[in-house]
Structure 1
Amino acid sequence: LHLFFPAAATDVPVTAPVPEIDSSKCNLCGECGKFCRFGALAVVKDCVLTFPHLCHSCGGCMLVCPQGAIREVPRTIGRITCSRPLSRLVLITGILNEGEVLAPPVIKAAKTLAEGHPLILYDASPGIACPVIETLEGSDYCVLVTESTPFGLHDLRLAAGVAETLGIPAGVVINRSDGKDEETVAFSREHDLPILMTIPFSREIAAVTSRGGLIGRDLPGWEERFTDLASAIPGVNP
C-alpha cells in the first residue's frame, strides 16, 4: 500500500528473542537441543551452537535448561514504518529483513502500533499460512478477495475455512472477473458469504494500477462503488 500512498515515514525496529548460551554454566547436557524442534540449537563436543534464523522465539530452551545457562537476547528481524499520507489515513507497514522467515512477530508489532484507531484495515498476504492467521486474529470482519479461476476458487475455499474456524464473518470480492463467476458465486452462496463487489478484468483498470494510480480516484464511478463496499461491511461507516 505504501506504493500507492507515498509519504515520509518513521521507522520502528522489530526484534525477536533468541537464546544466548552462558558457557560458564553450560554442562553440555543436550536438553536444549533435544527440545528445539526447529534445530535452532545443536550441542556438539565442547559447545552449543545456536542458529538464530531458525529460532521461533518460544523460550522453551531456556525453560528446560537445568543449569540456567540460557538467556534470551533481542535480535532485529524487521521494522515497522509509519506514515500519514492523508489527513484521515495512518499507514503502518511491516517489513521483514531479507533472509528472515518469521513474519508473525512483525505483523503483531504492526497491529499493536495500530491499536486505538477507530477503524483498522489489515492487508493480509495470500494463502492461509502463519502470517495470514496472525493478521486475521482479533478481526471483526474478513474481506476475501478472489478471482474467477480454478486456482482462485481453490484458495477461496481454504481462506473461507480459516475465517469460519476463527469465527470471523466474511464476504467476497471477485477481482479480475471475466464474467464467468458461476462457481465462485455458487460456493459463496453455499457458505453464506455475500458477494460484496465484482471488479472486471479490464485493461483500463490495469493501466491505472500499473502506474501507481487508484481506480477509486482516477476512474469515474469507482469511488461510489468502494463506498458501497465499505457500507456493506458490518460496523463500518464510510
Structure 2
Amino acid sequence: MKIAIASGKGGTGKTFVTNNLYYTLLKQGKKVHIVDCDSEEPNVGEFISGHITQTQEVFQNIPVIDATQCIYCGKCYEYCSYNAIVYLPMGPFIQAIGELCHDCGACSLMCETGAITEIPRRLGTITHIDVTGQGTMTELRADIGVYTPVPILKKALSQITDDTLNLLDSPPGISCPFIATADQADFLVLVTEPTPFGLNDLKLTVETLRELKKPFGVVINRAGLGDNTLYQWLQAEQIPLLLEIPFDREIARIYSEGQILVNCNEDYLKQFEQLITNINAYIPIS
C-alpha cells in the first residue's frame, strides 16, 4: 500500500501531515515506511531520526560523441526525444548535453559507427534509515546542479517492499517529480490551505490526478485562516474532506521546536486517528 501526501504549492503543511500520520500509524502497531520524495529539499529527517542502515549512490549514463568516428548522419539527434543533442549539419557539429539526457539509450542504439560511448554521472543518494522496531525511512537527496531528480525517485520507489504501509512525502507542485510519485500511489492525501493561492494550486493538482485516474481526498491545514470559498469548491466538485487542522498557535509552537504534534497532544492524536479512518473509507489500510 502506498499513500502519497501531496500539495499543489509549497508550505501548506504536507510534511507536517506526513510525519504526524506516520507516528499515528506506528502507535496503532502498523509497520510503516516513509519515503521523502522531495530529493531537492528533503526535510522529513528534521523531525524523524534513526540510524542509517544503507546509503546508495545513484548514477545515470551520459552519452559522449566522438567527432572522429561520427559521420554526422543525424540519426541520434532525430531519435532523441529530450532535445539533448545539438546537431548542426552545416558545421558540421554535434554534441550531447548531459544535463538534458534521460539515459534512454536511443542515441547509442541508432549510431551505426560506434561513435557514442556512455559515461556514468552521479545524480544523488538514497539513504535508508531504521527509525523504530516498526518504522523505517528513506531519504532521497539530489546532488547540486542535477537537472531532474526523477531517476533517483524511480529507483527509490522501485525498492519499496509489499509487506509495509508506505507513506510518500511528495515534492510540491505538479511537475515531473510529483507525477512520478503520484503514479506509484494507491491513494493521495492533498494538503491545502483556505487561501486563494491554496485553492488555485489545489485545482491544478486535482485536474492532474483526474487525468491519472488516481483516488484522492483533501486535508485543510490552517482552517479558519481564510474564507469558505475552498469548502464550497470541494462540495461542488464532490471531493472528500478528510481532515481539518485549525490555525492554532500551539501547533506552530510544537512544530517550530521540531516536535511531532501527535506525540505532544492527545486531542490531535485522535484527529489523525480519524484521518486514518477516513482514508480507510476509500482504500483499506492493512
Scaled by the length of structure 1, the TM-score of the pair is 0.90
Report the CA distance shift for 1:22/1:198 in structure 2 as closer, same or farther (over 3 A): same
The residue number in structure 2 matching 1:6 is: 49
The residue number in structure 1 matching 2:75 is: 31
The residue number in structure 2 matching 1:145 is: 191
In the aligned structure 2, how far is the partner of 1:46 from the partner of 1:168? Answer: 48
In the aligned structure 1, how far is the partner of 2:277 from the partner of 2:130? Answer: 24
Shift of 1:147: 0.5
Query: 3-state DSSP class of the match of 2:114?
Result: coil
Letter in 2 for 1:40: A
User: 1:1-238 to 2 correspondence within 5 Å?
Assistant: 1-9=44-52, 10-23=54-67, 25-36=69-80, 38-43=82-87, 48-178=94-224, 180-233=226-279, 234-237=283-286
In the aligned structure 2, how far is the partner of 1:179 from the partner of 1:195? Answer: 17
1:127-184 CA distance string (max 9 Å, x none): 1111100000031111010010000000111111111111111100001222545221
Letter in 1 for 2:62: V
Query: Please, which moves more after superposition, 204-213 or 20-29?
Result: 20-29
- Identity, in percent, stands at 33
In the aligned structure 2, how far is the partner of 1:130 from the partner of 1:124? Answer: 11
In the aligned structure 1, how far is the partner of 2:163 from the partner of 2:121? Answer: 29
Letter in 2 for 1:154: N
Structure 1 residue runs of 5 or longer lacking an equivalent are none
In the aligned structure 1, how far is the partner of 2:45 from the partner of 2:160? Answer: 16
**Larger relative CO (CA 8 A, sep 6+): 1 or 2?**
2
Query: How many corresponding residue pairs?
Result: 237
Report the CA distance shift for 1:226/1:8 in structure 2 as closer, same or farther (over 3 A): same
Shift of 1:39: 4.7
Query: Please, which moves more after superposition, 174-183 or 91-100?
Result: 174-183
Query: 3-state DSSP class of the match of 1:137?
Result: helix
Q: Is the 8 A contact 2:64 2:95 kept in 1?
A: no
1:90-121 CA distance string (max 9 Å, x none): 10111111111211111111111223233111
Scaled by the length of structure 2, the TM-score of the pair is 0.76
Query: 3-state DSSP class of the match of 1:236?
Result: coil
Q: Is the 8 A contact 1:20 1:71 kept in 2?
A: yes
1:205-234 CA distance string (max 9 Å, x none): 111111211111112311111111112112
Q: Is the 8 A contact 1:80 1:94 kept in 2?
A: yes
In the aligned structure 1, how far is the partner of 2:236 from the partner of 2:150? Answer: 32
In the aligned structure 2, how far is the partner of 1:38 from the partner of 1:113? Answer: 26
Letter in 2 for 1:2: G
